[in-house]
Structure 1
Amino acid sequence: MTSPYRVVLGAAFDELHPRLRTYFDAIPDGAVGRGSGVFETVGTPRRWVWPVLAWFARAHVMFPVWERDVPFTVSNRAVMAADGAPAVAATRSFDLTALGRRRTALMVDEIGVSGGALIDRLGDPVRAEALFRATVRDGGLRLRSTAVRLVVGGRRVPIPRLVAPVVVLTERWDDAGGRQEVSIVVAVPVIGRIYQYTGRFRYGIEKGERSE
């Protein structure tokens, strides 16, 4: 199965750092990509946003927290999207602390291809969809959202561009540390940053499935 990142980037895919090509290339049938690391920050200190994030948290998208040094794992699997395009289904597990107690929160999404762009279907059930423009810079991948829509009652509701959140994801390889760096920032016009997570992790492809 072809990687959605390779489909969208075309020849630019080979400009990625070799270790990032492993991460973004097609995952062999019967294999799973697994990684683990630590996020330096997760969430937002703007507590007035938390009620909205709580709605997304019920579908495993974003969480109403502001935490540091959060251990996490990620697992990626190659799937076929409902529209028949190649996709990658990802599950990220965050080891959060709430009121002094540890709890695990999941983020679930599926990256596919739509109209020559990457599309991220967020949540289980899907709560939002974001279209991304993908570029390669200095061996790293940068995704910037071009459109965001909510999924409510099975209907896709576009958010007007003037008020739509802008999602920026960057992935780089740190040669010195031997780890992958990831950063996601969600910002809203006028208001500014309302959500983020930034950290480092190690990743590899494992042959065969194993129980979670």
Structure 2
Amino acid sequence: MKSIYHQALGEKFDRLHPELQKKFGITSEQKVMVLGQGRMTEIRGTPALIRPFLHIGSKDHVIFAERGKDVPFTLENYSYVDEQGCEAISYIRRFFFPYAIRGFDAVMSYDPEQETVVDDLGKSGRLSTVMELDVTKEGGLLMRSREMKLNNHFTFIGPRTSLYEHYEEKNQAFRVHVHVEHPLVGTLLMYEGLVHTEFLPITPNHIPERGILT
């Protein structure tokens, strides 16, 4: 079985760095989770006057208002079969600020009609977007979002997300870059950091509902 990223990238998947192939090649058949731990060098973005409104999104783990430097970070990826019988992978991101723990969660799956990955955002998954995937000449993975939909029906002008990840041999870790930008407001969220990753065995009972912790 090919992973959702392997299906979306096709032959380009073989150009990924071997460690990226391992990470983005997981499927539900392997019965493993990916656990990442590290620190984000800096988390920034959003004009100060608008930032308080982001607290609304923090309840659904879509976005958050806190900003800072050298922020501890964890990532959990679970590969599982969803209610429609399709392969899906959860992204459970946690940022540990001095007075709060914030989430930035998603579930990704492969859409055979569009031949790419769909990203359902937050714990509820009410917001979704289609991702464009590519491989850089250095073997890194680049994902960019397209239009955003609400409840899979209503298209609107929403934030666009760029995710870039590559493997650093020197540190034996993944370098992660994320940029969330709104066409009217500008940068809403930007962070970058180094994440050390391990693969751990799991059982189906250990996988949270929708692959997301509540």
The letter for the 2-side match of 1:149 is K
Asked if residue 180 in structure 1 is aligned to residue 166 in structure 2, the reply is no
Structure 2 unaligned blocks of 5 or more: 208-212
> Quick one: percent identity of the two aligned structures?
24
Q: What residue in structure 2 maps to residue 76 of structure 1? A: 77
In 1, are the aligned partners of 2:36 and 2:74 still within 8 Å (CA)?
yes
The letter for the 1-side match of 2:160 is V
After TM superposition, give the deviation of residue 131 of structure 1 in Å: 0.8
In 1, are the aligned partners of 2:145 and 2:161 still within 8 Å (CA)?
yes
In 1, the alpha carbon distance for the partners of 2:7 and 2:53 equals 34
After TM superposition, give the deviation of residue 43 of structure 1 in Å: 4.3
Q: What residue in structure 1 maps to residue 191 of structure 2? A: 197
Instruction: Name the structure with the higher strand share.
Output: 1
Q: Which region of structure 1 is more displaced relative to structure 2, 14-23 or 50-59?
A: 50-59
- Is the partner of 1:19 in helix, strand or coil? helix
Change (3 A) 1:110 1:95: same
TM score, norm. by length of structure 2: 0.85
The letter for the 2-side match of 1:182 is V
After TM superposition, give the deviation of residue 124 of structure 1 in Å: 1.1
After TM superposition, give the deviation of residue 141 of structure 1 in Å: 0.6
In 2, are the aligned partners of 1:117 and 1:132 still within 8 Å (CA)?
yes
- 1:123-156 CA distance string (max 9 Å, x none): 11124211111000020011111211234xxx64
In 2, the alpha carbon distance for the partners of 1:109 and 1:12 equals 24
Q: What residue in structure 1 maps to residue 22 of structure 2? A: 22
In 1, the alpha carbon distance for the partners of 2:129 and 2:52 equals 21
- Root-mean-square deviation over aligned CA pairs: 2.1
In 2, the alpha carbon distance for the partners of 1:50 and 1:127 equals 22
Runs of 4+ that moved beyond 6 A: none
- 1:157-209 CA distance string (max 9 Å, x none): 2114xxx3221110111122221011110112254212112111111211235
After TM superposition, give the deviation of residue 30 of structure 1 in Å: 3.0
Asked if residue 158 in structure 1 is aligned to residue 160 in structure 2, the reply is no
> Which residue of 110, 115, 135 corresponds with 1:113?
110
In 2, are the aligned partners of 1:149 and 1:156 still within 8 Å (CA)?
yes
> Which residue of 98, 101, 120 corresponds with 1:104?
101
Q: What residue in structure 1 maps to residue 149 of structure 2? A: 149
